[in-house]
Amino acid sequence: MTSDTGVAAPKQDPWAAALEQFDRAADHLSLKQGIREFLATPHRELTVHFPVRMDDGTIRTFVGHRVHHSMVVGPTKGGVRYHPAVTLNEVRALAMLMSWKCAVVGLPYGGAKGGVAVDPAGLSSNELELLTRRYTSEILPLIHPEGDIPAPDVGTNPQVMAWIMDTYSMRRGYSTPSVVTGKPIAIGGSAGRLEATGRGVAITLREAARRYGYPLEGATVAVQGFGNVGSVATAQIARLGCTVVAVSDVSGGVYHPRGLDVGRLIAHVREARTVAGFRGGEAISNAQLLELPCDFLVPCALEGQIVEDNAPRIRARVVVEGANGPTTPAADAILEDRGVLVVPDIVANAGGVVVSYFEWVQGLQQFFWTEDEVNANLERIMMRAFGEVAAVANARRVTLRSAALIRAIDRVARALYLRGIYP
């Protein structure tokens, strides 16, 4: 499948957006000022500049980052992103979001994130492997099966995780599969992990529809981003009885008001490696997709896509955030005023980290589950998490995003109070 990087880089600084969302939620909690400041501050940050020998013999220097936001609840967990627009502030924001995401679904993890500013599509397989192994060597002081466990993200995949695991293992002198998740099954990966994020998005959409009274049969859905997350979510959502009217990727999108043939579309993308050229609807841009009339809009690309400028033109009744941070705070306020229900990223796309947790546990125990067991446990956790967040939203009369953040921040703060301040 293609990458979920089918849109331009966000305009608003992602770290500023993450802090603004944190502040809005923290205002609802009685936190001591020092605790509030600590929770809003990354625990540690590493930026590395490293050389890679390219296939033509030239040397290129790349910039990479790894950020640990919180280690209060447990080891840190978070993906590694390869994208030209990767910055330290983006990685900071994503690490913070991972802390809240893990907390809101009840996982014993803190948040981390990593990234390299690179277009992986511009590298050969050999160059990508060399870059991955050198980046891994640079961040080795931070990663550990019981300290910080990387995973795939935008621009990375199971093969990249295999290279990270092998590089770490070679340095340790023995095989350590549990140092990463999202690996191929042949070397300790979990059944169901590749589909987990998209499956979780579909579960959350279903639960939101049930909770708030939106019929699923025939409901129209538009999905931005058709990589691993978007393609799986699209297939799962179609199985719920919804009508998928539009999808898009880096090359643009396709729209048909009466619905796309999802099976034919997936087959087309598998062969052409892009949505573009699919003869089942009208060609549209990513920006146009966001503003289509539909019941559910599912952004599964990059952060910062629904912004103050286009939020007034969003015609969906419900936005289910498959991507991390696709809606800016300013856009959030506009959508709330207009009565658009937003199911936040830290709930909607938590399926990936949930099954990453399952993979980590399986690796530590060397006891592996069936795919049916993985999917059943994923559904149970996603349903419980959405129900808990919806209950907080109802009790406090706040949005689902604020409710999710309130619940997550409160869990981490309570853990910090119980542990105390060392020494």
Cα–Cα distance for residue pair 66/113, rounded to 1 Å? 6
113 assigned to active site: yes
Q: Which residues contact 122 (CB under 8 A, 6 or more apart)?
A: none
Question: Which backbone phi and psi does 150 adopt, to 5 degrees?
Answer: -70, 170
- The one catalytic residue in 11, 77, 101, 113 is 113
Q: Which residues contact 272 (CB under 8 A, 6 or more apart)?
A: 278
Cα–Cα distance for residue pair 383/249, rounded to 1 Å? 29
Cα–Cα distance for residue pair 79/297, rounded to 1 Å? 24
* Peptide bond before residue 423 is cis, with ω within 30 degrees of 0: yes
Question: Which backbone phi and psi does 49 adopt, to 5 degrees?
Answer: -120, 120
Which residue numbers are catalytic? Answer: 113
